[in-house]
Structures are given as C-alpha cells and as structure tokens.
Copies of this chain bind each other. A is one copy, B any other.
C-alpha cells in the first residue's frame, strides 16, 4: 500500500462535512487496489518525476473508478451485493444515497484537477481527456455495450467492450502521466492504456473462472450467468496465450516511449501475477 497517496486521499475527503453521502463516498473509496493511480505513478517516475506530482490527477481518476463501481453495482445495473470485500454501496447505504455518492464522486473528480496546481493548459487537457474516455468514447460507452448487448458476441466485439469499458480509464491514466511529463505522443499513450485495460480485463475474466468469490472480495453478480466475457469466445488456454500476445505488444509500445520502464514493469508484473 502506498501510504503517502492513501493519506492524500484521506486529507482530501476530510474537506467534506459528515453526512450520509460523504460517508458513502469515503466508504467506497476505501480499500481500492489503486491500480490506475499506480500506473500513472510508474510512468511519471520513469521520466524522473516525483510521484507526488501526479497525486491530484490520480485521485481524480480513482474517484471516477469508484463512482463507476457504485453505479455499476446498482440493482438496475449489475445488481452486485459485494464490492472491495464488503457490502456494495447501495447495500451498506440506501440506494438513493448510493446514486448521489456516485454522482458526487464524478462531479468532484473534475474539481480536484481544476483546483490543483497544474498549469491551466494541463488542467484543460486532463479534463478533456477524462471526460472523453470516461464518457461516450470510453467507459460509459463500454458499459452500454455490456448492458444492452449492442455488440456482436465475437472476439472483435469483446475487444470493443474491453477497449472502452476497462481501457477507457487506463487510457486516461497513461495520458495524465504523459501530460505531466510533457510527452506529445498521445497515440502511443492511448494504445498503451488500451492494452493495459484489455489485459487487465482478460485476466479478470480468467480469475472469475478459476477463483472463488471470497478470494476476489466480490460477489458474483446476479446477472453474471448471462455475461459476455473473454471465456465466451476463448478457452482458458487460448485466453492465456492471447494475454501473452497482448503483453508482447504492450512491451513493444513501452519501448517506443522513451522512459525508464522499471516502475511500469513492476506494476505490470503485479497485474500479471495477481
């Protein structure tokens, strides 16, 4: 656990007075694995920049991730009772409070960046990227494809869901790191984020098939039996091979981005072996 970043998160949320919504926000922010923040930190450190410089945008991204979990778990969505090893937000609080807590995390995530000490031009680029890839060019679009099955159930359709639903926030992570480091190769950053997301999701689907819900700290959604996952179009062995291929492409992109990959490799290894 990164105790400095955890303290930064706690300090931020202390600005809010105590009520049911702020309590629900803090409850769900607590206990996350912070993988997206760690991706940002690993890339900025690879450019010789102190990870603290990335704390504001990393907090914003973790807030977006947390809001999406709260709303995804709602009865009208995936209807999940457990999340991050404890009752999901609408189970621990009321459903209306959970909706508002998600809305508040999303609303304030943009404020965290706007009020940070990044240069105004950097803030604007970050907010534009976060809006785009957490929205209809990313996470929400992917969630829609997932919910409404407006996608063909093929390997191509799977990549479209993963690239948007999971890849969206990892693209933001890589772009944020790039903006802080002054990297202009947005295309490579976006592709890097996309691949991390796809690998992450493929591994998640693999774990779902091989681990119990207790080991994962989440419940199987009530709608899980009908879910379109990687294992709908790959066998377990094929999926493992696919993940290996994706790692190879990922490392080739890492090589074109001229930074010290030692920190990113650590996180990728952690993702690979979790």
How many copies of this chain? 2
Q: Chain B contacts of A183 at CB under 8 A?
A: none
Name the CB-closest residue of B to A144.
B21
Q: Chain B contacts of A140 at CB under 8 A?
A: 21, 100, 103-104, 107
- Given A120-B121, A123-B123, A128-B115, does the pair A96, B20 have CB atoms closer than 8 Å? no
Cross-chain pairs A/B with CB under 8 angstroms, 28 sampled: A16-B136, A19-B144, A19-B150, A20-B148, A21-B140, A74-B76, A76-B96, A76-B99, A77-B99, A99-B99, A100-B140, A102-B103, A103-B140, A106-B107, A107-B131, A107-B134, A107-B140, A108-B131, A111-B127, A111-B128, A114-B124, A114-B127, A114-B131, A120-B120, A120-B121, A123-B124, A123-B127, A127-B127
A residues in contact (CB < 8 Å) with B? 16, 19-22, 67, 71, 74, 76-77, 94-97, 99-100, 102-104, 106-108, 110-111, 113-115, 119-121, 123-125, 127-128, 130-132, 134-136, 140-141, 143-144, 147-148, 150
